[in-house]
Amino acid sequence: MQSDHVGTEALSALLDGHLSDRERETVEAHLAGCPACRIDLEQLRRTVSLLQAMPAAAPARSFAVREAVPPARVGLVHRMARPPLLRALAGAAAALMVVVLLADAAWPRGDVTTGIGLSSPAMLTARESSASTPTVNPAAASAPPPDARAGDSGAPALEPAIQPREAAPGEETPESVATPIELIGAVEAPPSLAPPSLRVGQVGAVFLGILAAILITASLRAGRRAGRRA
Amino acid sequence: MRRSGRAGWVRFRSRVAVSRRSTSVRVIDEERWLDAARAGDADAFNHLVERYQSLAYSVACRTLADPEAAADATQEAFFSAFRAIAGFRGGSFQAWLLRIVVNACYDARRYANRRPATSMDRVIEEMGEAPWPDQHAVNPETAVLSQETLATLEGALAELPDEQRLAIVLVDIEGLTYEEAADVMGRPVGTVRSRLARGRARVRDILVATGNLS
Ligand SMILES: [Zn+2]
């Protein structure tokens, strides 16, 4: 009798009435003469009883679906659209914007030859014209604004153009004076360095600001959605 | 003696699965809603949601041991089910839906396990420190569990292999039959029987070891 106790699976199935008649008769016959198996069975029965008593978790909200469920609700896209990630990206964009603005403000003013001179055209003009007005200024002043891009700074914006001209002193001075048309051509190239690079900083900052705003909006929306779902 | 004893062994199922509360009217309703839902009718599908959401959410809660993650997984499961409803080829809608719910839970758990903070939250919850929402014992036959016993049970369930836990959740906690559970698990009834027995024995051992069962 002790050698052939009832296995757990048979006891468990007995509780659920899931033994065949023959199995059940065998098990019951054994139980009648084996206190150890009866204790096993009783412990299992009480375990099941406790499991059954576990409270049902009632949903706090409805899980109804709406008319059109966008396919992107699940999977990677949905996970990517989690508020923390969007907030992080927004923060990164905002931080980058600040960096660009700081770089803009801190960049050495008048360093036009690098092409990244971001300082105000007026300051540039003041310094440049004092340095090199004697030689080329008349010609530059007489020339029409070479590019609409220099429009907002007007005629003074042409002044930085003088610098590269100075950087090539080996060239014949008469030539530059004698042929104003070629001078205009020479003048035209540098503005494409200085004023546009001025723009890169400001436009970049504006772009980053807009990006940060979009990301923050998206994160708020995703946050509201998560709040609705919770 | 043997007869009267057996009456006590065979447990009384006070918590019945949705399908077994079914009357013919329920079945007819369900067929109609399913047909309309297959044609893309969200309102019809939402009748099914209303009918099954308690069961689905409860299974998710016991599978994930995290009410919020369970709510998310349940919602995702219903979205998935609605998208896939055209491919539902009859049989038990309950089993089909619960399979989706359980898979959504396993997906959510895999995803959460990659994020340490969430895992920690769950560990704390498994220890029973976070309150379970809406605590009301629905089984009048059994005594209300003490907080300690409940926490021990939740911890024991969390320790079980997935299939053993699922068998207990479906049969003992949700009151499905072996056949219904087998349908959800995609396993033969015999497998459900053995997984259930092993899971119960493990839970019993933990209850005895923690002094919750003598
Ligand atoms: Zn025995």
Rounded (5°) CA angle A93-A204-A195: 160
Q: What is the percent of chain B where pLDDT is above 90?
A: 67
What's the gap in Å between A12 CA and the centre of ligand 1? 14
Q: What is the CATH number of the domain that holds B59?
A: 1.10.1740.10
Q: What is the pLDDT of residue A196?
A: 52
Hunting for tokens 């509360």 — which residue is that? B21
How many beta carbons lie within 10 A of that of residue A24, not counting itself?
A: 16
Q: What's the whole-number average pLDDT of chain B?
A: 82
Taking CB atoms and an 8 Å limit, are A47 and B79 in contact across chains? no
ipTM greater than 0.85, yes or no?
Answer: no
Q: What is the pLDDT of residue A95?
A: 79
B134 shares a domain with B103 = no
In a domain, B70, yes or no: yes
In a domain, B1, yes or no: no
CA distances from A34 to A6, A41, B8 (A): 9, 11, 17
Q: What is the pLDDT of residues A64-93, one digit of tens each?
A: 998 655 444 444 544 555 556 667 777 777
Mean pLDDT of B162-175: 97
Output the DSSP codes for B62-77: HHHS-HHHHHHHHHHH
Total of domains in chain B: 2
Cβ atoms of A93 and A211 within 8 Å: the answer is yes
Can you give the pTM of this predicted structure?
A: 0.56
How many beta carbons lie within 10 A of that of residue A144, not counting itself?
A: 7
Residue A38 has pLDDT above 70, yes or no: yes
Domain with B85, as residue range(s), is: 6-112
In a domain, B46, yes or no: yes
In a domain, B37, yes or no: yes
Cβ atoms of A100 and A208 within 8 Å: the answer is yes
Taking CB atoms and an 8 Å limit, are B80 and A74 in contact across chains? yes
Residue B123 has pLDDT above 80, yes or no: no
CA B24 to chain A, closest CA, distance in angstroms equals 24
Q: What is the pLDDT of residue B165?
A: 98
Q: B53, B85, B112: which is the final residue of a domain?
A: B112
Given B46, B150, B201, which is nearest A64 (Cβ)?
B46
**What residue spans of chain A are helical by DSSP H?**
8-15, 21-33, 35-52, 75-80, 83-106, 121-142, 162-167, 173-178, 180-188, 194-229
Q: B112, B136, B171: which is the final residue of a domain?
A: B112
- Spell out a b/e string for A194-219, using b for 16 or more CB atoms within 10 Å of the CB, else e: bbebbeebeebbeebbebbeebbebb
Of B147 and A161, more confident: B147
Range with lowest mean pLDDT among A54-63, B10-19, B99-108 = B10-19
Q: How is residue B209 written in tokens? A: 């070891």
B133 shares a domain with B104 = no
Mean pLDDT of B173-199: 97
Interface membership of A18 toward B (CB under 8 Å)? yes
Identify the band that residue A152 occupies on the pLDDT scale cut at 50, 70 and 90: very low
Q: What is the pLDDT of residue A82?
A: 55
Q: B65, B86, B112: which is the final residue of a domain?
A: B112
B133 shares a domain with B87 = no
Interface membership of A168 toward B (CB under 8 Å)? no
Identify the band that residue A206 occupies on the pLDDT scale cut at 50, 70 and 90: confident
Interface membership of A16 toward B (CB under 8 Å)? yes
Q: Which of residues 4-63 of B touch A (CB under 8 A)?
A: 5-6, 8-11, 13-15, 42, 45-46, 49-50, 53-54, 56-58, 61-62
B52 shares a domain with B28 = yes
